[in-house]
Amino acid sequence: MKIEYVFILFWLYAILGWILELIVTYLRQRKLVNRGFLLGPYCPIYGVGGTVLLFLYKYNASPFIVFVVSIFICSLIEYLASYILEAIYKVRWWDYTNRFLNVNGRICLTNSIAFGFLGVLLVCYLNPWFLNLFRSIDPKTLHLIVIIIGSITAIDVLLTLSAMDDVRIMVTNFKDKSITNIFKSNADRSEEISFKVRNILKQKSFIHKHLTKAYENLKIYKNYVARKGGKEKTNKFETIENIFVIGVLLSIILGLILGKIFGNKGLFICIFLALDALIVRLLSRGNDEK
């Protein structure tokens, strides 16, 4: 498949994901909200998911297989995106803690099932239609489209990442006399800190205001606020989660490498993922006993 096709599909699915988020948010809140961390009408996480699912084209005649695999892959992508963004910018951008059957507030059952149905729609219907459409367009025109879209989004990404880095600096240097004993008290002051930071962001640039509207429930934990003369403290659960995420990434990489050598990528990925889950389970049990 041509790289231009993959790139355009990425942004088509990012745009479709943005439209979906717009509709869902409107039905819930009765107002239009520009979802996603970028300013433009696209949510890159949907583009990533849609692009990764391209490898399922061999199964477009088996919707059930596509459904199950899409749930796993897209849920993993959402979990990793939440984890990585929080690790870098010290903010939990979305939180599903109050949703039914959620995993650490990063993914939840309803979203995962929705990803499964979206995967079937993409792999079995939209991908073949879009690819046929691309083949009918002049290659030079496609190349020009890629350059234009790439240039616009590159500017968008740079501006947004700069604003998100401001948020990280604001969090790690957070000071507010109205919130006393942040570290001395065992009480969770995350909601108070998050509320204060959101209000500060609303007074800044258009991009900062956009982030607060797109992620109204962004959460900041008190352990991300730097202590005087010391570093942020990482609790046991965060350490285990770090091991889990790193293990997942290594499982995929090692599984692909060994799968390439021995001709069964899926088997090796599953083996390494199972080992990762076992290690995390043993670590969790050890902490519970302590």
Measure the CA–CA gap between 23 and 149, rounded to whole angstroms: 24
Successive 10-residue mean pLDDT values, the chain, 290 residues: 84 91 85 80 88 87 91 91 85 85 89 93 91 88 86 84 80 63 58 78 81 79 57 55 74 75 74 77 60
Three-state SS for 103?
strand
Residue with tokens 């990925």: 269
Residue with tokens 């509207």: 213
Task: Find the distance separating the first CA and the last CA of the chain, reported in whole Å.
Answer: 53
What string of DSSP letters covers 125-155? IIHHHHHHHHHTS-HHHHHHHHHHHHHHHHH
pLDDT reported for residue 232: 47
pLDDT reported for residue 230: 44
Tell me which H or E stretch contains 23: helix 3-29
pLDDT reported for residue 229: 41
Yes or no: say if 36 and 44 are a contact pair by the CB < 8 Å rule.
yes
Residue 31 has φ and ψ, to the nearest 5°, of -155, 150
Environment class of 182 (CB within 10 Å of its CB; exposed 0-12, middle 13-18, buried 19+): middle
pLDDT reported for residue 231: 47
Taking CA atoms, 206 is separated from 139, 159, 211, 215, 229, in Å, by 37, 11, 9, 14, 34
Instruction: Map out the domains of the chain as residue ranges.
Output: 3-159, 236-289
> Across-strand partners of 103?
107
Q: Which two tokens stand for residue 206?
A: 């258009």
pLDDT reported for residue 236: 55
Yes or no: say if 13 and 46 are a contact pair by the CB < 8 Å rule.
yes
Taking CA atoms, 84 is separated from 90, 177, 209, 249, in Å, by 10, 30, 22, 12
